[in-house]
Protein backbone atom coordinates (compact mmCIF):
# COMPACT_ATOMS: atom_id res chain seq x y z
CA UNK A 1 0.00 0.00 0.00
CA UNK A 2 1.49 3.32 -1.08
CA UNK A 3 1.55 5.77 1.82
CA UNK A 4 1.24 8.97 -0.26
CA UNK A 5 -0.01 8.49 -3.79
CA UNK A 6 -0.21 11.11 -6.51
CA UNK A 7 -1.88 10.95 -9.89
CA UNK A 8 -0.97 11.35 -12.62
CA UNK A 9 2.73 10.57 -12.57
CA UNK A 10 3.32 12.42 -15.84
CA UNK A 11 1.36 15.31 -17.29
CA UNK A 12 2.13 16.81 -20.69
CA UNK A 13 -0.10 19.64 -21.80
CA UNK A 14 -0.34 22.79 -23.88
CA UNK A 15 0.00 26.33 -22.61
CA UNK A 16 -3.31 27.80 -21.53
CA UNK A 17 -4.88 24.51 -20.48
CA UNK A 18 -6.25 23.73 -17.03
CA UNK A 19 -5.09 20.61 -15.19
CA UNK A 20 -5.44 18.92 -11.81
CA UNK A 21 -3.16 16.72 -9.73
CA UNK A 22 -4.60 14.48 -7.04
CA UNK A 23 -3.01 13.32 -3.82
CA UNK A 24 -4.11 10.84 -1.20
CA UNK A 25 -2.43 9.63 1.99
CA UNK A 26 -3.35 6.58 4.04
CA UNK A 27 -1.08 7.32 7.00
CA UNK A 28 -3.68 9.10 9.10
CA UNK A 29 -1.56 12.27 9.08
CA UNK A 30 -3.19 15.58 9.94
CA UNK A 31 -1.19 17.82 7.58
CA UNK A 32 -0.67 17.72 3.83
CA UNK A 33 1.56 19.80 1.57
CA UNK A 34 2.30 20.69 -2.02
CA UNK A 35 5.92 21.32 -3.01
CA UNK A 36 7.28 22.41 -6.38
CA UNK A 37 10.72 21.24 -7.51
CA UNK A 38 12.17 23.14 -10.44
CA UNK A 39 14.88 22.11 -12.88
CA UNK A 40 17.57 23.26 -10.42
CA UNK A 41 16.09 20.84 -7.86
CA UNK A 42 14.99 23.60 -5.51
CA UNK A 43 12.11 22.28 -3.35
CA UNK A 44 9.68 25.09 -2.59
CA UNK A 45 6.62 24.87 -0.35
CA UNK A 46 3.45 26.02 -2.05
CA UNK A 47 0.59 25.15 0.27
CA UNK A 48 -0.11 23.32 3.48
CA UNK A 49 -3.40 22.08 4.91
CA UNK A 50 -3.99 20.96 8.47
CA UNK A 51 -7.21 19.02 9.01
CA UNK A 52 -8.65 20.49 5.79
CA UNK A 53 -7.71 24.04 6.77
CA UNK A 54 -5.20 26.09 4.78
CA UNK A 55 -2.28 27.04 7.06
CA UNK A 56 0.51 27.89 4.62
CA UNK A 57 -0.06 29.76 1.39
CA UNK A 58 3.24 30.88 -0.08
CA UNK A 59 3.58 33.44 -2.83
CA UNK A 60 2.07 31.36 -5.58
CA UNK A 61 0.12 32.71 -8.58
CA UNK A 62 -3.65 32.69 -8.17
CA UNK A 63 -3.80 30.23 -11.03
CA UNK A 64 -2.87 27.55 -8.49
CA UNK A 65 -5.71 26.50 -6.24
CA UNK A 66 -5.48 23.71 -3.68
CA UNK A 67 -8.49 21.87 -2.39
CA UNK A 68 -8.76 19.49 0.53
CA UNK A 69 -12.08 17.60 0.56
CA UNK A 70 -10.99 15.65 3.65
CA UNK A 71 -7.95 15.01 5.82
CA UNK A 72 -6.62 12.30 3.52
CA UNK A 73 -6.82 14.19 0.23
CA UNK A 74 -5.22 17.32 -1.15
CA UNK A 75 -5.65 18.20 -4.79
CA UNK A 76 -3.99 20.91 -6.84
CA UNK A 77 -5.74 22.63 -9.71
CA UNK A 78 -3.80 24.81 -12.11
CA UNK A 79 -5.52 27.22 -14.50
CA UNK A 80 -4.10 28.74 -17.68
CA UNK A 81 -0.85 26.78 -17.58
CA UNK A 82 2.35 28.63 -18.49
CA UNK A 83 5.76 27.38 -19.64
CA UNK A 84 7.25 28.31 -16.27
CA UNK A 85 4.89 25.91 -14.50
CA UNK A 86 6.88 22.97 -15.86
CA UNK A 87 8.35 21.23 -12.83
CA UNK A 88 7.90 18.23 -10.57
CA UNK A 89 5.12 18.69 -8.04
CA UNK A 90 5.37 16.67 -4.84
CA UNK A 91 2.60 16.04 -2.40
CA UNK A 92 3.65 15.23 1.17
CA UNK A 93 2.04 14.57 4.51
CA UNK A 94 3.09 14.63 8.15
CA UNK A 95 1.68 14.29 11.62
CA UNK A 96 2.17 17.62 13.37
CA UNK A 97 5.82 18.62 12.95
CA UNK A 98 7.09 15.14 12.27
CA UNK A 99 8.92 14.05 9.11
CA UNK A 100 7.31 14.64 5.76
CA UNK A 101 6.43 11.58 3.70
CA UNK A 102 6.54 12.45 0.04
CA UNK A 103 4.58 11.07 -2.86
CA UNK A 104 6.41 9.94 -6.00
CA UNK A 105 5.86 13.26 -7.74
CA UNK A 106 4.01 14.49 -10.81
CA UNK A 107 6.20 15.60 -13.70
CA UNK A 108 4.40 18.43 -15.44
CA UNK A 109 5.58 19.55 -18.87
CA UNK A 110 3.92 22.56 -20.44
CA UNK A 111 4.51 22.87 -24.19
CA UNK B 1 13.94 32.06 4.89
CA UNK B 2 15.90 29.44 2.96
CA UNK B 3 18.78 27.74 4.86
CA UNK B 4 22.20 27.75 3.23
CA UNK B 5 23.74 24.39 2.39
CA UNK B 6 27.36 23.65 1.60
CA UNK B 7 29.02 22.29 -0.36
CA UNK B 8 26.85 22.33 -3.49
CA UNK B 9 28.39 19.12 -4.72
CA UNK B 10 30.87 16.53 -3.52
CA UNK B 11 32.44 13.52 -5.19
CA UNK B 12 33.82 10.69 -3.07
CA UNK B 13 35.31 7.26 -3.46
CA UNK B 14 33.62 4.38 -1.69
CA UNK B 15 34.76 4.25 1.91
CA UNK B 16 35.51 7.98 2.21
CA UNK B 17 33.76 10.38 4.59
CA UNK B 18 31.76 13.51 3.85
CA UNK B 19 30.20 16.37 5.79
CA UNK B 20 27.30 18.48 4.57
CA UNK B 21 26.49 21.71 6.38
CA UNK B 22 23.26 23.63 6.79
CA UNK B 23 22.91 27.04 8.40
CA UNK B 24 20.11 29.46 9.09
CA UNK B 25 19.94 33.10 10.06
CA UNK B 26 16.84 32.47 12.20
CA UNK B 27 16.29 30.67 15.51
CA UNK B 28 15.37 27.11 14.66
CA UNK B 29 12.87 24.69 16.12
CA UNK B 30 14.11 21.71 14.16
CA UNK B 31 16.29 20.55 11.29
CA UNK B 32 15.28 17.72 8.97
CA UNK B 33 17.57 15.85 6.59
CA UNK B 34 16.33 14.13 3.42
CA UNK B 35 17.98 12.29 0.58
CA UNK B 36 16.64 12.30 -2.97
CA UNK B 37 17.83 9.90 -5.63
CA UNK B 38 17.49 10.85 -9.28
CA UNK B 39 13.90 10.65 -10.47
CA UNK B 40 12.58 9.73 -7.03
CA UNK B 41 10.90 11.45 -4.10
CA UNK B 42 12.88 12.85 -1.17
CA UNK B 43 13.20 10.32 1.64
CA UNK B 44 13.47 11.26 5.30
CA UNK B 45 16.79 10.51 7.03
CA UNK B 46 16.55 12.14 10.43
CA UNK B 47 15.18 15.04 12.44
CA UNK B 48 16.98 17.06 15.08
CA UNK B 49 15.05 19.13 17.54
CA UNK B 50 15.95 22.25 19.50
CA UNK B 51 18.10 21.18 22.39
CA UNK B 52 21.29 20.51 20.46
CA UNK B 53 21.44 16.82 19.85
CA UNK B 54 23.24 14.38 17.68
CA UNK B 55 21.49 11.52 15.99
CA UNK B 56 22.48 8.75 13.70
CA UNK B 57 21.67 5.48 12.15
CA UNK B 58 24.04 3.17 10.41
CA UNK B 59 26.95 5.32 9.20
CA UNK B 60 24.96 8.50 8.73
CA UNK B 61 24.68 10.89 11.65
CA UNK B 62 23.88 14.54 12.21
CA UNK B 63 24.40 17.25 14.78
CA UNK B 64 22.50 20.42 15.59
CA UNK B 65 24.18 23.43 17.14
CA UNK B 66 21.28 25.48 18.40
CA UNK B 67 23.39 28.52 19.33
CA UNK B 68 24.88 28.79 15.86
CA UNK B 69 21.67 27.68 14.09
CA UNK B 70 23.72 25.12 12.21
CA UNK B 71 23.40 21.46 11.46
CA UNK B 72 25.84 19.06 9.88
CA UNK B 73 25.24 15.69 8.27
CA UNK B 74 28.09 13.19 8.55
CA UNK B 75 28.45 10.28 6.14
CA UNK B 76 31.18 7.88 7.13
CA UNK B 77 32.66 5.05 5.09
CA UNK B 78 30.38 6.04 2.23
CA UNK B 79 28.71 3.40 0.08
CA UNK B 80 27.58 3.60 -3.53
CA UNK B 81 23.98 3.71 -2.27
CA UNK B 82 24.67 7.04 -0.54
CA UNK B 83 24.72 8.85 -3.88
CA UNK B 84 21.95 11.38 -4.29
CA UNK B 85 21.01 14.93 -3.41
CA UNK B 86 20.84 15.74 0.29
CA UNK B 87 18.49 18.44 1.50
CA UNK B 88 18.27 20.04 4.88
CA UNK B 89 14.93 21.47 5.87
CA UNK B 90 14.55 23.97 8.68
CA UNK B 91 11.57 24.88 10.84
CA UNK B 92 11.84 28.31 12.38
CA UNK B 93 10.84 28.64 16.02
CA UNK B 94 7.27 29.91 16.18
CA UNK B 95 6.44 29.10 12.56
CA UNK B 96 3.33 27.20 11.52
CA UNK B 97 4.85 23.83 10.51
CA UNK B 98 6.69 25.47 7.63
CA UNK B 99 9.66 23.39 6.54
CA UNK B 100 11.94 25.36 4.21
CA UNK B 101 14.51 23.41 2.24
CA UNK B 102 18.05 24.33 1.34
CA UNK B 103 19.23 24.16 -2.26
CA UNK B 104 20.64 20.67 -1.83
CA UNK B 105 24.06 19.00 -1.94
CA UNK B 106 24.69 16.56 -4.75
CA UNK B 107 26.74 13.64 -3.44
CA UNK B 108 28.33 11.18 -5.85
CA UNK B 109 30.08 8.09 -4.56
CA UNK B 110 32.37 6.38 -7.06
CA UNK B 111 33.60 2.79 -6.84
Answer whether A97 sits within 8 Å of B97, measured CB to CB.
yes
**Closest chain B residue by Cα to residue A31:** B97
Enter the CATH code of domain A4-110: 2.60.40.10
Q: Where along chain A do its domains lie?
A: 4-110
CB proximity A98 to B under 8 Å: yes
CB contact under 8 A, B43 and A104: no
CB of A60 within 8 A of CB of A78?
no
The residue-averaged pLDDT of B80-107 equals 90
Task: Using a CB–CB cutoff of 8 Å, tell me whether B3 touches chain A.
Answer: no
The arrangement of secondary structure in B4-110, i.e. its CATH architecture, is: Sandwich (2.60)
Minimal C-alpha gap between A29 and chain B (Å): 13
Give the long-range contacts of residues A36-41, CB within 8 A, separation 24 or more. A36/A87, A36/A88, A36/A89, A36/A90, A37/A87, A37/A88, A37/A89, A37/A90, A37/A105, A38/A87, A39/A86, A39/A87, A40/B103, A41/B36, A41/B85, A41/B103, A41/B104
Q: Averaged over B61-85, what is the pLDDT?
A: 93
What are the boundaries of each domain within chain B? 4-110
**DSSP helix, strand, coil percent of chain B (3-state; round to 5):** 5, 60, 40
Cα nearest neighbour of A98 on chain B: B47
Per-residue model confidence (pLDDT) at position B67: 86
Q: What pLDDT shows up at residue B79?
A: 94
Mind listing the pLDDT tens digit for each residue in B21-69?
Answer: 999 998 888 899 999 999 999 999 999 987 666 666 678 999 998 888 9
User: End-to-end distance of chain B based on CA atoms, in angstroms?
Assistant: 37
Q: What is the mean pLDDT of residues A77-105?
A: 93
Contacts of A97 in chain B (CB under 8 A): 29-30, 91, 97
Structure confidence at residue A41 (pLDDT) = 87
Amino acid sequence: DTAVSQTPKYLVTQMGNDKSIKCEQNLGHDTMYWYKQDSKKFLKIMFSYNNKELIINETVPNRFSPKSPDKAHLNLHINSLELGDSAVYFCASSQERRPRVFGAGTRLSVL
Amino acid sequence: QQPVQSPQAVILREGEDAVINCSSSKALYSVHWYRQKHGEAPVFLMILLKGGEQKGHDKISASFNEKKQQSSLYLTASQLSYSGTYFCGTEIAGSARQLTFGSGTQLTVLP
